[in-house]
Amino acid sequence: MIKYTKDTNNIVTLTLDMGDRNINIINHEKAKAFEAVLDHLKAQKAKRQLKGIIITSAKKNFLEGGDLDYLNQVNDPKKIYDLAQNLKTLYRDLEQPGVPIVAAINGKALGSGFELALACHHRIVIDNQKIRLGHPEVKLGMMPNVGGTIRLMWLLGIEKAFKILTSGQSYPPRGALELGMVDALAKDEKDMIDQAKKWLVKNQGQHRPWDDPKRGKIVGGTARKPDVARRIQILSAKLIRETNNNYPAPLAILNTLVEGSLVDFDTASRIESRYFAKLVCGTVSENMTKAFWYDYNKIKSGLSRPRGFGRFRPRRVGIVGAGKMGSGIAFSCLLRGIEVVLKDISKSVAARGREFVEKRLEDIVQEGKILPAEKIALLEKMTTTDKSSEFETCDLVIEAVFENKNLKAKVLREAEVHMDEYAFYASNTLSIPITKLADSAVRPANFIGLHFFAPADKVHLVEIVKGAATSDETVARAFDFVRAIRKTPIIVKDYWGFYAARVQNTYILEGITMLNEGYSPALIENLGKQAGMTRSALAMADEVSLEIVVKYEEQAAELYGSKYVQHPAVSVCRTMIDELKRLGRRQGKGFYEYQENEDPYIWPELTSHFPSSKTSYDRKKLIERLLFAQVIEAVWCLQEKVIGTIAEANLGSILGWGFPAFKGGALQYIDDYGLEKFVDRCQVFEKRYGQRFSVPPLLKRKLKSDQKKMVDIDL
Amino acid sequence: MNQAYIFDAIRTPRGKGRQGGALYECKPIDLVKSLLDALVIRNNLPTEEVEDLILGCVTPVEDQGANLAKAALLYAGWADQVAGFQLNRFCASGLEAINLAAGKIRSGWEDLIVAGGVESMSRVPMESDRGALLFDPAVISKVGYIPQGISADLIATRESFSREDLDFYALQSQTRAAFAWDNKYFRKSIIPILDQNGLLILDKDEHLRPGTTLEKLATLSPVFKAVGETGFDFLALETYPEIEKVQHLHTAGNSSGIVDGAALTLIGSAKKGKALDLKPRAIIRAAAVSGSEPTIMLQGPIPAVNKALKIAGMKASDIELWEMNEAFAAPVLKLQKEFNIDQDILNVNGGAIALGHPLGATGAMLLGTLLDEMERRNLTVGLVTLCVGGGMGVATIIERTDQF
């Protein structure tokens, strides 16, 4: 519903109150509500009884786009194209009657919702840090489709529009003002409406720049302008560096901007619709929507959280260890207003954690996400100490000390003494079984694993590891805690390597195997990136350290006994560790050479120990090997119930170790590839490279069933 | 002697050459790519067998700049070894590309070439490349170069063509083009333009005005009067003092339309044609270019046709079907008069007045139209000619064959 009110100055306020949910959504169905209003406005205009229009919202948000279910099911580009064109006509009708319109933004305005604001002559937003504005479409492999690309370009120029649209970022009001996405900030609702009315009275006879053929110019110029053309060249190259040509959406955005700058507004809008339809009907947007929308929402809604326990709201968190990991966790907690007690062996060591947090908070002040005053207030919520007794009032304590069982047991005992019975304790181990560590716990039911990934202030994934004695309630509370710091929890079994590290290791091992087969290290590293992995295999091996890489394999060998077949990479690791004494990044030497003040480079002598004997290579096949190894392992994890759901396996793979997002995650990869084709390919690889590529029984079963998709597996 | 065979000749539909025209949103490279894709499919063509792409383009700047031929080959995913370049012989460019290809084939140095042209006049307006001939006062005053429309008016004046003569010719172009479309005469050679999703953008020539009448045409005002009176008319009289004044008779209705489009032909040797199982449709019997007095400019086809006929060892009466580009009505009527061509064998499916004249592509489009019509009428010998800036003319004689 759209509420229509008119004041004595002939200024109409349209208040969006659409649908029964507590937020306003715009999509091709809901947009129909505009049609009658537009007709009425035109009539009013004709009678000279309309001076200006204010669009605002009765809900807590302004307006958000929301057609994902529809877009996801429709695969006909004609339908998608028409849908975009129809919505465009509505927005166009709105901005064209010749009376000025102000968007009075009282809450979130995202996607097509922000596009509506862009279709207004002036944008005022309430200065509330919780409000977000912008275009997150690119994160789902899509782009704006109601002229947002073109309007933003006209208003801000090609390059700025490109940055905003491809960042996928949702900007707070001040950030948006700084970028020029909005025109003014208001103190509150009343101030916003007052400002809007004032602006409307002062700015009669407004034309959008694109409707003003004489004076209207794209800010900064079109793609024809020599300096703009040069920048576009550079942006095209940068784009390849960032996407390896795996993500079509940012390129579609750049193409739309460039091509759109050379033609009139309506033609440009049509170009936008065509690129949009192409993206929507492509597999990348399908995969990314699956992971970042459907899978993410399933996880968020508590798909794997034990039921029957009320929501836990952490107020105070203790952290042991002020290293990078501990400080990163502290920052993540603080950012959400949770009090933090950061402990280390001495006050001065603990204070280093504080410095880190302060620096990171300053970063986000700079990004306009919090105010300087808020930074000070947040820092006041942080205590640094060398005493475990400070944990007394903590709801939970997270241990993030060096990976050593005895040390971990010691800090656990120290902390537990001071914790009350209801508080729980989480170890951030990456390779020591939680059940074993729980031996040292007084309250093993309240003991759990919380596996953060480095850098903890940035990586969104946290593995929740349930030990044999861990209670369901503790799991539920750990889940709520991870959600409270806005990270994504996945629940994993206390089994070797848990989920992420175990699957990640297969990527590393496959890369190392290729080295042993005579492929050049540069090739392995580049193809890893081109496959879409965020990091290359050998670099990742160094990061993890070769000893840990081997350790996971030893754990597997121990568990699987006679069934275990040694991975061909293990012997390479042993040579590296035992003979060449190159253990990885921490020691400053691994597959790479690490010198201070210099970018790491591949150890020049590496090829004398592992000669690059291959003179040719099959790029596609090597890329597939690197990915298949991980996908197969992820299936094993599902089968062994190391991970409970496909949603968690997919999102975990992307957020945890950088599996290609454009494939939708490690299990979605199979559907993207086609189950039958995937199984066939595994068999080819198994014959050629060994048992590690054998088809897991779960996939064979799936192949025999009617449903040929991973997404349908009944767990 | 090696013969140059025509295996295929295709074109895009012609879109109105302005904002709002259907092809305005299409980049010239996409027009060329659409045709390259179609050539591969229609001829089952292994692209690595093609040696060169010669592309006519009259305004090779912006979207059309920096050797669009090679860019389009790479963009369309053709084999790396195919070379490409762009040429500009003004309105002859599309046909010149074909003639040059034929020459290369006949030399024996190359065996398979794609030749044609492209022009997006909506995106890259005429004369946006400037140039000495049109914009350098030192050159203009020395060579007596005047805008082509005034040259066309000058021909009409000297030949005593009346406005009715020109309008009648224009109406005939419209009627014939509409008839040809209605009877699907162009169907064989038109490649519809689709967007990246496969959605149709244009599959029909867009410039036609099938409903037009002599009365309507008579209402249109002369286009070149104002600019002529600024001084160009006097420049014309410098060269032609025997006429009293230039009669401005050409209008938007009896001049060619500004449109977007592209055309390509596949030309090669018998040896390559046999090896790739390509079907020969015609050989290029003769190709000629010529220059003539530049002020009147548009009579260049006369020496070019004479030269081509001489090369082919033919007389004008041997030509069974003629295509002369309808840049303006007068030059066509002049050619008809000069060679005494029966109107029933000249521009029989209409021409650029109805369909439009995408500068760099037109020559190649006309060759395709001629060949299709010769096949339909089962004729053997046909000729294409175009008037060209600077007083040049181009002509090509083709002879149908269905075997090597």
In this model, does residue A712 exceed pLDDT 70? no
Q: Where are the beta strands (DSSP E) in B24-109?
A: 52-56, 83-87
- pLDDT for A317 equals 97
- pLDDT for B381 equals 98
- pLDDT for B115 equals 98
Instruction: Please compute, for residue B384, the number of CA atoms within 13 A of its CA located in the half-sphere on the CB side.
Output: 29
- Candidates B57, B91, B248, B250; catalytic one: B91
Tens-digit pLDDT profile for residues B95-118 = 999 999 999 999 999 999 999 999
Query: How far is the C-alpha of B322 from the C-alpha of B348, rounded, in Å?
Result: 8
Count of CB atoms within 10 A of residue A450's CB? 25
A77 in contact with chain B, both atoms CB, cutoff 8 A: yes
| CA-closest candidate to residue A651, choices A398, A482, A466, A425 | A482
Whether A281 sits inside 8 A of B197 (CB atoms) is yes
Whether B25 sits inside 8 A of A262 (CB atoms) is no
Q: Which of B62, B63, B197 sits opposite A277 (nearest CB)?
A: B197
B320 in contact with chain A, both atoms CB, cutoff 8 A: no
Cis upstream peptide for A455 (omega within 30°): yes
A281 in contact with chain B, both atoms CB, cutoff 8 A: yes
CA distance B217 to chain A (A): 31
In this model, does residue A713 exceed pLDDT 60? no
- pLDDT for A668 equals 96
Contacts of A270 in chain B (CB under 8 A): 25
Mean pLDDT value of segment A612-632: 97
- pLDDT for A98 equals 77
- pLDDT for A714 equals 43
| Alpha helix segments (H runs only) across A426-533 | 434-437, 472-484, 500-517, 521-531
A64: tokens are 């958000």
Query: How far is the C-alpha of A38 from the C-alpha of A86, rounded, in Å?
Result: 14
- pLDDT for A97 equals 66
Q: Are A176 and A182 in contact (CB under 8 A)?
A: yes
| CA-closest candidate to residue A54, choices A102, A15, A19 | A102
| CA-closest candidate to residue A368, choices A104, A133, A61, A138 | A133
In this model, does residue B255 exceed pLDDT 60? yes
- Under the banding of pLDDT at 50, 70 and 90, the label for residue A429 is confident
In this model, does residue A45 exceed pLDDT 90? no
Query: How far is the C-alpha of B86 from the C-alpha of B57, rounded, in Å?
Result: 7
For residue A211, give the DSSP letter.
Answer: G
Query: How far is the C-alpha of A141 from the C-alpha of B372, rounded, in Å?
Result: 46
Mean pLDDT value of segment B217-226: 97
Q: Which amino acid is at A6?
A: K
Torsion angles phi and psi, residue A371, rounded to 5: -90, 155
H or E segment to which residue B260 belongs? strand B259-268
- Candidates B207, B248, B250, B357; catalytic one: B357
Count of CB atoms within 10 A of residue A599's CB? 7
| CA-closest candidate to residue B132, choices B389, B365, B345 | B389
A264: closest chain B residue by CA:
B19
Contacts of A81 in chain B (CB under 8 A): 197, 199
B196 in contact with chain A, both atoms CB, cutoff 8 A: yes
Count of CB atoms within 10 A of residue A634's CB? 30
Q: CA separation (Å) from B262 to B13, B36, B120, B356? A: 8, 11, 8, 12
The single residue listed with the structure tokens 């996801």 is A72
Q: CA separation (Å) from A629 to A89, A564, A567, A635? A: 49, 16, 11, 10
Q: Which of B19, B25, B199 sits opposite A81 (nearest CB)?
A: B199
Taking all residues of chain A, what is their mean pLDDT, rounded to a whole number?
Answer: 94
A79 in contact with chain B, both atoms CB, cutoff 8 A: no
Tens-digit pLDDT profile for residues B291-330 = 999 999 999 999 999 999 999 999 999 999 999 999 999 9
By three-state DSSP, how is residue B31 classified? Answer: helix
Q: What residues contact B343, with CB distance under 8 A and at least 6 apart?
A: B172, B336
Query: How far is the C-alpha of A176 from the C-alpha of A126, rounded, in Å?
Result: 12
The answer to whether the Cα torsion of A572, A578, A584, A590 is positive or negative is: negative
Question: Is B387 among the residues known to form the active site?
Answer: yes
For residue B252, give the DSSP letter.
Answer: T
DSSP string, A600-655: -EE-TTHHHHS----S---HHHHHHHHHHHHHHHHHHHHHTTSB--HHHHHHHHHH
By three-state DSSP, how is residue A403 classified? Answer: coil
Q: Are B285 and B345 in contact (CB under 8 A)?
A: no
Q: Label residue A701 exposed, middle or buried (CB < 10 Å: 0-12, 13-18, 19+).
A: exposed
A276 in contact with chain B, both atoms CB, cutoff 8 A: no
For residue B219, give the DSSP letter.
Answer: H
B147: tokens are 């805008």
In this model, does residue B158 exceed pLDDT 70? yes
Query: How far is the C-alpha of A629 from the C-alpha of A507, rounded, in Å?
Result: 6
Tens-digit pLDDT profile for residues A262-316 = 999 999 999 999 999 999 999 999 999 999 999 999 999 998 999 999 999 999 9
Query: How far is the C-alpha of A573 from the C-alpha of A580, rounded, in Å?
Result: 10
Mean pLDDT value of segment A126-140: 95
In this model, does residue A212 exceed pLDDT 90? no
Q: Which of B24, B62, B195 sits opposite A267 (nearest CB)?
A: B24
For residue A21, give the DSSP letter.
Answer: S
DSSP string, B86-99: EE-BTBTHHHHHHH
A267: closest chain B residue by CA:
B25
- The CA radius of gyration of chain A, in Å to the nearest whole number, is 28
A278: closest chain B residue by CA:
B197
Query: How far is the C-alpha of A153 from the C-alpha of A162, rounded, in Å?
Result: 8
Tens-digit pLDDT profile for residues B234-245 = 999 999 999 999
Torsion angles phi and psi, residue A398, rounded to 5: -110, 130
